[in-house]
A and B are shown apart, each in its own frame.
Chain A
């Protein structure tokens, strides 16, 4: 559904935000989102993900910069811009006494759309809320409340959906339903922007990933390309007897000696067709080296940020 040559549905230029406390949450962010794509904003807590979303949705006022949604400036033409957007915030913010169906219908009205009971029914059924349609929100479980918030965000049929940390503290079933929903929404051409601090989540869902850290977009790339770049693994072999140097017959693997010669470290791309691991183990046997234990480690988000930031500084 992604239309690469169409004008961006969201265009962000030079966006900055300094809070009254002096904290600089965003430091000049530029970003274009193509219509119909699923975009993941990846970053640690406090990186500026929620601030970025909140500015686009009208909850926070930007200190500098401009944002357009569907070509409409979010300040000058806020009505048209906001009418296109649905937002599911990270925290569970719901009324207590409102029945499920009327709170969803309320959201549709708030966005200026005419009442449409059929659409609300379909939405509630899709989100497994139909049985609870007349229940007060306070009677629902946390997972159900989150479904209600999604239904509210979709009630006015937005063209762009923001999901802030959609799977934080969410059970497996809801997580699965959520992804099914995201995929079906994408099928209808809805653009989806989600924030997460799980690499796996970004990898699983997104067409493109933007990595944000310290209020700056460090990198924006197609998910597959980014994963090739970031998806490093490290194999550590704990040797039976310490080595003074890496044996010459193992030179092809670029091994590193660690732990005073008691361990060998090998970095490889876990997604490559040939990881080099089996041949390394065979080579080890040929060299007559035996090991007592081995472990592998996926590069963590922190490692990746450190690498990316270093790369940027060097460039």
Chain B
């Protein structure tokens, strides 16, 4: 019975990318400006007092954290908005009546959202290069990690978009959970700089592993082992996949 509906996936992907193209300037200008502001504030103000972290120039040190911060927010926002919008306008009827499996639906939406998030991350990397020298020790692994984290957070965003009952709720998770965890997860500092017991407590923050894994691909060193980072990321991804599987199985907030 199952023939993969690749045209359906492609239709969703194109629809979403088209939506992105309509707002491409705001979509790209915002991260570029935000990144520049972070460099002005963190790089210049703090960087002038703190020369380096673990042998890495402070300006360069914050680049992976900065990219991760945007990647999280972009991924969640893109994916949650993409699936929340049809629920809000009612056009979801068409999606539900189409011969698409749950996997194909998610592939279309998450694929497009992750594409956008990775593009924004690369634009931020480019912008960062204007301010500081950024050398990537493992470029291939860097891209792979970028993609892995983008897909994971887009899956998470997809769940948020289905769970949210309105546009306010769409904002709650990124603002109240993800951004604080990112700031406290060593995006702009090494957790080794923290006194105990804060350092140990911080190790319970999953974002620490995501940021440090990514930072490792840049500098070859990080606060936690790269393998552990990968495991945590993969674990979070599996968790999201499990929740999405449950959503489509039960029709939670999709079908009456």
Chain A residues close to B by CB (< 8 Å): 19-20, 54, 57-61, 76-83, 85, 87, 89, 91, 93-98, 102, 106-114, 152
Contacts and interface: CB of A to CB of B under 8 A. Distances in A.
Interface stretch (B92-100, B206-214, B239-247): B92-100
Given A19-B256, A58-B97, A61-B251, A112 B1 contact: no
Interface string B1-37: 1110111101110110011001000000000000000
A112 B104 CA distance: 11
Given A89-B93, A110-B100, A111-B98, A77 B8 contact: no
A61 B101 CA distance: 15
A215 to B, nearest CB: 14
Interface of B: 1-3, 5-8, 10-12, 14-15, 18-19, 22, 89-91, 93-101, 251, 255-256
A110 B8 contact: yes
Contact of B90 (A79, A93, A102, A106): A93
A130 B53 CA distance: 63
A278 B91 CA distance: 55
A111 B93 contact: no
A97 B251 CA distance: 28
A102 B18 contact: yes
Given A95-B89, A110-B94, A79 B255 contact: no
A81 to B, nearest CB: 8
Contacts of B5: 79, 112
Nearest to A76: B1
B97 A87 contact: yes
Contacts of A87: 93-94, 97
Given A20-B256, A108-B11, A112-B8, 14 more contacts: A19-B256, A57-B97, A61-B256, A76-B1, A81-B99, A89-B90, A93-B91, A93-B93, A93-B94, A98-B18, A110-B12, A111-B8, A112-B99, A113-B7
A169 B15 CA distance: 30
Contacts of A57: 93, 96-97
Contact of B10 (A95, A107, A109): A109
B97 to A, nearest CB: 4
Contacts of B93: 57, 59, 87, 89, 93
Contacts of B251: 61
B58 to A, nearest CB: 43
B114 to A, nearest CB: 20
B89 A94 contact: yes
A57 B256 CA distance: 13
A59 B19 CA distance: 25
Nearest to B5: A112
15 contacts: A20-B256, A57-B93, A58-B97, A76-B1, A77-B1, A79-B2, A93-B89, A95-B89, A95-B91, A107-B94, A109-B8, A109-B11, A110-B98, A112-B6, A114-B7
A106 B11 contact: yes
A83 B256 contact: no
Contacts of A60: 255-256
B99 A111 contact: yes
A59 B97 CA distance: 6
Interface centre among B90, B91, B98, B100, by most A CB within 10 Å? Answer: B98
* 9 nearest A-B pairs in the assembled complex, by CB-CB distance: A109-B11, A93-B90, A79-B99, A82-B99, A112-B5, A57-B97, A110-B98, A83-B99, A60-B256
A81 B255 CA distance: 18
Contacts of A80: 1, 99
Nearest to B254: A59
A85 B97 CA distance: 8
Nearest to B98: A110
Nearest to B105: A110
Contact of B255 (A61, A76, A108, A111): A61
Given A93-B91, A95-B91, A109-B7, A78 B255 contact: no
A33 B255 CA distance: 25
